[in-house]
Structure 1
Amino acid sequence: MQHDLNHPRTMNGWALFDWANSAFALVITTAIFPPYFETVVDEEFSVLGIGFSNSSWLAFTISISYLIIAVLSPLLSGIADAGGRRKFFLQVFTTIGGIACLSLFWFQDMNDLALGTFGFSLGLIGFAGGLVFYNSFLPVIATPDRFDKLSAKGFAMGYIGSVLLLVLNLAMVLKPEWFGIPDAGMATRLAFVTVGLWWLLFGYIAFSRLPQDLRKKSAGIADVSRKGWEEFKSVWRRVKASPPTLRFLGAFFSYSAGVQTVIFLASLFAAKELGFETSELIQVVLILQIVAIGGAYLAASVSKRFGNKTAIYFQLVIWFLICLAGYFVQGKTTFYGVAAAVGLVMGGIQSMSRSTYAKLIPTREDVTSYFSFYDILEKLAIVGGTFIFALLDLITGSMRLSLLALSFFFALGMIILWKFKLPEQTAENPATDLFG
């Protein structure tokens, strides 16, 4: 049985999930966990005889986590479509991520490195693993003319919700006595707990509004898995037969390596290279997020007037300049300006990329597998970007050269995107791109 498209309650529920899981992306991966990790973990240490810096260890942890989920995604997304389990897997990964956040409360010093690494890694897997199923709901609950606006609404809801929680966390860190907390260290660890509870609470409220899984008959998990792989390979053949889709995904892979690596490691860069305190970093991230709310809607407006390609292209130019500016930045004041620029294009590039890809999908029957390609490429881009960042940091001892290297990913993305064009301009996509 097919549910109604463009139902307000369903679309609002979908956007609410962004409100839920974005708390992890903001509070833990961006604002609080990286500088906390840099504080409690030795600057240089060895594991199995191999030397690491704390920043390279964290970057390698991100790389390995996303490699794991990239390997699992084809199987899981195929099973979700073949077995009608899209919502089920979204709930599973949300639960894993939320519990992982709660476990970080016990990460206190170098002796807990394994716990902190494992908890952070599981949180990343829960967050990233759920996104393929979350994104795949977009073409299922809305018509193409709603994609841009609904996608932007999801990102905006995520920014608003995560900012509200981050404000609470900032108050906890700056004034722990207001909350009966003995010190800032305890307040930081309790912030991890608030993220887990927030993610689980609002995630399950969102689930109550999303369409129920339509379970399909199968002979068991082996049969469903086989069908999932067959469906995934079928989608891959169709993607290969569509030059516009291949070109877009190639550009997306390249610039996502830069975008996601900057988002993950910018606060660690600020703490290690510029001496930012945790409370200062939270304030920087708050500015970044507030700007990003407008940035997501600005990108949708530019797309409506000039087309998706133009909207993405101008943002890539700004991202390229951000990497160059980051290499030369010295003072905290200048870094605030760079952070504001990141906020302007952070939400927009992700929102436009998601809605552009949705317009390239020719069917609504196996959209999870289609979005699996999208998400796998993004995860592999994170693996590549963070691995190169970590390797250069380990070799040179400076994060600046690593940041400069990320500009290459944006330049390559612009080159690949230059000849990209949506297959046709329709009433649902009337804008004409400035770049053709």
Structure 2
Amino acid sequence: MQQRNDKKVVRSWAFFDWANSAYNLVITSTIFPAYYTAITSDKDPATIDYVTFFGKKFVNSALYSYAMAFAFLVIAIISPILSSVADTRGNKKIFMKMFTYLGALACCGLFFFEIDEAKGINTLNFSVIMFVLAAIGFWGSLVFYNSYLPEIATVDKQDSVSAKGFTYGYVGSIILQIVCFVFVFKPDWFGIENPSIPARLSFLMVGIWWILFAQIPFKNLPKGSPNYQEEKKNIMTSGFKELNKVWRQLKQMKYLKRFLFAFFFYSMGVQTVMLVATIFGEKELQLPTEKLIATILILQIVAIPGAMLMSYLSTKKFGNINVLIGVVAIWIGCCIAAYYLHTELQFYALAGVIGMIMGGIQSLSRSTYSKFLPQDSPDHTSFFSFYDVTEKVALVFGLFSFGYIEELTQSMRNSVIALALFFVLGLVFLVFVKKVEPKNA
């Protein structure tokens, strides 16, 4: 087995976060959602903005939520198949590469996203497809990336290594975001006259950045944990059989089983909030694009010490589950506060709080799950596939319900209250986890 805690390998692993987090910041959190809302809106807050996607009419922000939900549904279906192949053949790095290139090239394809009725240009259909493929590439690669954690770090180091990955991701994405800012806010410096070009250049740069820096982990990470089996398997069913096998094992581990139920419910809220925050600020508060993007950037900066703080509190003070309980309680408060948001200052204050807790809850959830897996198992990818499928199915429910409630009630605020209920359920299951919590949790 690969020697764990090797500094070069750990650093290379963290650089995968550096490479792909630019997608998470620019495409899902800042420039793309702001650009999408801007070019699909009539700029009148008194009207409802509709778009037509392959002949069907949607509220513009609801289509955004549905597109993301579809991407997560695809990942939930195909990742068990791919992770099973990776575990069986010990070649998970190949699949990391495949999803990375898919996602990065789709980001490059978003350069062609433009709607200009005067010129007869409308690439919405193509661009939504590219948006979905970019999401599939990003989240699909994480199935294999996360599964490396127990193979490159011992149990006592997994919290800090997981936090290192998120920290690298925040730093790398912020650097590229600043570069994108220069194009978005100062296009005249480059002689750019078309107002859509700066945002579209940002999407192109994300794809290039992602591919370039991914070469570091691709070069230094181990190929995988070989568990080659000579017998032929049905590729389409073996992955789901692996998930069933993992589930049978998890049923014997009360701690992990209850933790996954908690993770399922609070993940509905965490990721959905992060994916729709920019659109919420633009539609409900009519905040200008430049202020929204700057706010999300500051949020990412705040998330760096937030992730480190959560790692410190869980390792040195209170334990993983106690910290997660506290963080989920804060998330509930944030959702309730979002319902009553009406001013720009309130939005900034809430964004600061969310920034402190968003990286921590993701990092701590991943390391909590990793710490209590069978550490010498050759099937880490299958275990993490189960973890990722749980998160993706949660996101399908979270994003679909967010979009559906908005279309039904004509208000994103009501959708936010629904997310608060998901967090409450997650909190209840975390309390149940405490009753069977291992001593070293």
TM-score of the pair, normalised by structure 2: 0.93
* Residue equivalent to 2:20: 21
Cα distance in 1 for partners of 2:258, 2:339 equals 30
Which of residues 112, 130, 135 in structure 1 aligns to 2:141? 130
- 1:90-132 per-residue CA deviation (whole Å, 9 max, x = no partner) reads 0000000000000000010172111110010000000010111
Aligned counterparts, 1:263-278, within 5 A: 263-278=274-289
Structure 1, residues 282-305: CA drift from partner, whole Å, max 9, x if none?
A: 100111011100100000111011
Match of 1:232 in 2: 243
Instruction: Label 1:47 to 1:197 Cα distance change in 2 as closer, same or farther (>3 A).
Output: closer
Q: Describe how 1:210-359 pairs up with structure 2 within 5 A.
A: 210-213=221-224, 217=228, 222=233, 228-304=239-315, 305-359=317-371
Cα separation, 1, equivalents of 2:196 and 2:16: 29
1:47 to partner: Cα distance: 4.7
**Paired position in structure 2 for 1:169:** 180
Corresponding position of 2:62: 56
Taking a change above 3 Å as real, the CA distance of residues 215 and 179 of structure 1, as seen in their structure-2 partners, is: farther
Which residue in the other structure is 1:433 paired with?
A: none
State the shift of 1:277 in Å: 2.3
2: CA distance between counterparts of 1:31 and 1:223?
A: 42
Given that residues 78 and 225 in structure 1 are in contact (C-alpha distance below 8 angstroms), is that contact kept between their aligned partners in structure 2?
A: no
Shift of 1:169: 1.0
1:403–1:221: structure 2 CA closer, same or farther, 3 Å change rule?
A: farther
Amino acid at match of 1:381: A
Structure 1 match to 2:39: 40
- From 185, 197, 210, the equivalent of 2:208 is 197
Q: Percent identity?
A: 43
Indicate if the aligned counterparts of 1:319 and 1:410 stay in contact, CA closer than 8 A: yes
Deviates more, 1:257-266 or 1:202-211: 202-211
Q: Distance in 2 between matches of 1:95 and 1:221?
A: 28
1:84–1:213 Cα contact (<8 Å) kept: yes
1:434 alignment partner in structure 2: none
1:5 aligns with 2:4: yes
1-structure distance, mates of 2:271, 2:237:
32
**Which amino acid letter does the alignment assign opposite residue 438 of structure 2?**
E
Paired residues, number = 426
Q: Which AA in structure 2 matches 1:90?
A: M
- SS of the equivalent of 1:13 reads helix
Q: Distance in 2 between matches of 1:134 and 1:345?
A: 22
Q: Is the CA contact (8 Å cut-off) linking 2:53 and 2:124 kept in structure 1?
A: no
Work out the CA distance in 2 between the residues paired with 1:45 and 1:13. 42
1:227, CA displacement in angstroms?
5.0
Label 1:414 to 1:229 Cα distance change in 2 as closer, same or farther (>3 A).
closer
3-state SS of paired residue (1:45): strand
Q: Please tell me whether the aligned partners of residues 75 and 229 of structure 1 are also in contact (alpha carbons under 8 angstroms).
A: yes
Q: 1:149 aligns with which of 160, 163, 169?
A: 160
> Is 1:91 paired with 2:97?
yes
2:386 paired residue number: 373
Instruction: Using the TM superposition, give the Cα deviation of residue 60 of structure 1 relative to its aligned residue in structure 2, in angstroms.
Output: 0.4
Distance 1:29 1:79 in 2: 29
Q: Which amino acid in structure 1 is aligned with residue 199 of structure 2? A: T
Asked if residue 106 in structure 1 is aligned to residue 119 in structure 2, the reply is no
SS of aligned partner of 1:365: coil
Deviations 1:41-66 (A, max 9, x none): 25213456643110000000011110
Question: Compared with structure 1, are the counterparts of its residues 48 and 185 closer, same or farther at alpha carbon in structure 2 (3 Å cutoff)?
Answer: closer
Q: Is the 8 A contact 2:53 2:125 kept in 1?
A: no
Contact 2:87/2:226 (8 A) holds in 1 = no
Structure 1 SS opposite 2:432:
coil
Alignment partner, residue 129 of structure 2: 118
Q: Could you tell me how far apart the structure 2 residues matched to 1:182 and 1:265 are?
A: 29
Alpha-carbon offset, residue 272 of structure 1: 1.0
**For residues 213 and 374 of structure 1, what CA distance do their matches in structure 2 show?**
18
Q: Aligned-pair RMSD on alpha carbons?
A: 1.7
State the Cα distance separating 1:168 from its structure 2 match.
1.1
